[in-house]
Amino acid sequence: MSSTSMSSSLATVGPPIPDDLIPMLNSWRRPAIVGHVRPDADCLGSMFAAALTWPGGDEVARVSLPDGSLSRRLAFMAEWVGAPVIEPAGFDDVDGFLVVDTAKKPRCNIDSSVGESWSDGRAIVNVDHHTSNTLFGAINWIDAEASSACELIYRLIRVAGRPISPLVASLLYSGIHSDTVGFSLPTTSSSSLHAAADLVDCGARVTEIGERLCRSQSKPEFDLNRVFYDNTRLVADGRISYSAASYDEITEAGCTFADIDDQAEIPRSLSGIQIAILFTEGRPGKTRLNLRGEGSVKVLELSRKLGGGGHAQAAGAILDAGIEESVQRVIPMAMELLGIQNG
Ligand SMILES: [Mn+2]
């Protein structure tokens, strides 16, 4: 596909890229790339692809990945790139921050010793696909219809006319593959498939990515999945499925909160459900919810009531409660969302 036909088809997709966005990225000498806490493949893929494409004065821009934030399963993406991780002291000389895949500023994955005023008057460019994005950047490009942040970074690179190396292609393809759950969600649009196809043409390592993302569980992750299968329950005549793992169950499997990623797919895989919920107590007394809506069910509303956010059909929240209390609180709300009387 010629680059001309690519950019003309890109122009018709989603909200336009703000005019000043690409010039700002191009102008930075010491940029830092930031994603969200507990980064998933889309977050890492978009961060690393951006770090390689807009390196500032260095070969690769620095990324914010505080200790312990990388899951075992996705460590391969960091190994591929070898991007320098920004140290707390290094924030002083940053001239701009590119934040990807992150709906709110407090969700940014920043080393706690840097403090809340980490951006300190410097520009933030905010590129995201969460409906709940709070537009915390100086420049915000939010396309809630996009499959993934990687699809947006792909468009950005194409419009900027920068090259896509096989490594950048692999990173972006990983994020699109992962956020669409292997091109199976309604977010699998024509534009996301066109992006994926172009990335394959650019050398994305399709086979390796499929193996890494879908068939590379460690024994502890496998054991934790066993817990999720065991703990899966169906309620509301099979319209709601949920599963849970307590802090002790996560620890006994040999996992940590960083290993919780897309396991909501386990209760979600049951036929006929409209809402799937995963409850995980990653830290004692703190329960994270991952909510998924099927068909036309929008779970974002529910996550917002609980102080969380996300996408229309994939959202989350964190409760200051253990598993049992969280289940008792959330299941009636999920039933209410489906219009079921709670008897
Ligand atoms: Mn994403």
Interval 23-56: pLDDT, tens: 999 999 999 999 999 999 999 999 999 999 999 9
**Could you tell me the pLDDT band of residue 180, with boundaries at 50, 70 and 90?**
very high
* 223 plus 207 within the same structural domain: no
Distance (angstroms) between ligand 1 centre and the Cα of 220 equals 25
Residues with CB under 5 A from ligand 1 (ion): 42, 101, 148-149, 179
314-340 mean pLDDT: 97
* 95 plus 163 within the same structural domain: yes
**Average per-residue pLDDT in the chain?**
94
* 205 plus 305 within the same structural domain: no
Distance (angstroms) between ligand 1 centre and the Cα of 43 equals 6
* 227 plus 161 within the same structural domain: no
Domain that holds residue 285: 219-337
- So what's the pLDDT on residue 14? 86
115-142 mean pLDDT: 96
Q: Is 273 exposed, middle or buried, given 0-12, 13-18 or 19+ CB atoms closer than 10 A?
A: buried
Does residue 341 register a pLDDT over 90? no
pLDDT tens digit sequence for 71-81: 888 999 999 99
Distance (angstroms) between ligand 1 centre and the Cα of 183 equals 14
Distance (angstroms) between ligand 1 centre and the Cα of 90 equals 26
* 22 plus 104 within the same structural domain: yes
* 71 plus 172 within the same structural domain: yes
Distance (angstroms) between ligand 1 centre and the Cα of 237 equals 31
Distance (angstroms) between ligand 1 centre and the Cα of 47 equals 11
Q: Among 194, 213, 232, which residue terminates a domain?
A: 213
CA distance 167 to 80: 8
Distance (angstroms) between ligand 1 centre and the Cα of 317 equals 15
Distance (angstroms) between ligand 1 centre and the Cα of 229 equals 25
pLDDT tens digit sequence for 195-244: 999 999 999 999 999 999 999 999 999 999 999 999 999 999 999 999 99
Distance (angstroms) between ligand 1 centre and the Cα of 102 equals 8
**Could you tell me the pLDDT band of residue 115, with boundaries at 50, 70 and 90?**
confident
**Could you tell me the pLDDT band of residue 1, with boundaries at 50, 70 and 90?**
very low
The letter for the amino acid at 295 is: G
104-116 mean pLDDT: 94
Distance (angstroms) between ligand 1 centre and the Cα of 341 equals 34
| Contact status, residue 20 vs residue 139, Cβ threshold 8 Å | yes
Q: At what angle do helices 190-201 and 149-160 cross, to 10 degrees?
A: 60
* 244 plus 199 within the same structural domain: no
Does residue 101 register a pLDDT over 80? yes
Number of domains in the chain: 2
Distance (angstroms) between ligand 1 centre and the Cα of 39 equals 9
Q: Give the up-direction half-sphere exposure of residue 267: CA atoms within 13 A in the CB hemisphere.
A: 31
3-32 mean pLDDT: 80
* 199 plus 230 within the same structural domain: no
- CATH value at residue 140: 3.90.1640.10
* 31 plus 171 within the same structural domain: yes
Distance (angstroms) between ligand 1 centre and the Cα of 342 equals 33
| Contact status, residue 323 vs residue 287, Cβ threshold 8 Å | yes
Please name which of 157, 110, 111, 154 lies closest in space to residue 136, comparing C-alpha atoms: 110
| Contact status, residue 194 vs residue 9, Cβ threshold 8 Å | yes
The letter for the amino acid at 249 is: E
**Could you tell me the pLDDT band of residue 2, with boundaries at 50, 70 and 90?**
very low
Distance (angstroms) between ligand 1 centre and the Cα of 230 equals 28
Q: Among 189, 213, 237, which residue terminates a domain?
A: 213
Distance (angstroms) between ligand 1 centre and the Cα of 44 equals 9
* 48 plus 180 within the same structural domain: yes
Q: What is the pTM of this model?
A: 0.90
- So what's the pLDDT on residue 95? 95
160-189 mean pLDDT: 97
Distance (angstroms) between ligand 1 centre and the Cα of 343 equals 37
Q: Is residue 343 included in any domain, yes or no?
A: no
Longest C-alpha distance within the chain, in Å? 63
Does residue 5 register a pLDDT over 80? no
The letter for the amino acid at 229 is: Y
Distance (angstroms) between ligand 1 centre and the Cα of 130 equals 8
Distance (angstroms) between ligand 1 centre and the Cα of 250 equals 24
* 203 plus 237 within the same structural domain: no
Chain centre distance of CA 106: 15
Distance (angstroms) between ligand 1 centre and the Cα of 150 equals 8
Tokens of 136: 């915390």
114-139 mean pLDDT: 95
**Could you tell me the pLDDT band of residue 128, with boundaries at 50, 70 and 90?**
very high
Please name which of 332, 343, 315, 259 lies closest in space to residue 70, comparing C-alpha atoms: 259
First-to-final CA distance of the chain:
58
Distance (angstroms) between ligand 1 centre and the Cα of 179 equals 6
pLDDT tens digit sequence for 283-293: 999 999 999 99
Distance (angstroms) between ligand 1 centre and the Cα of 316 equals 13
- So what's the pLDDT on residue 343? 55
Q: Is residue 138 included in any domain, yes or no?
A: yes
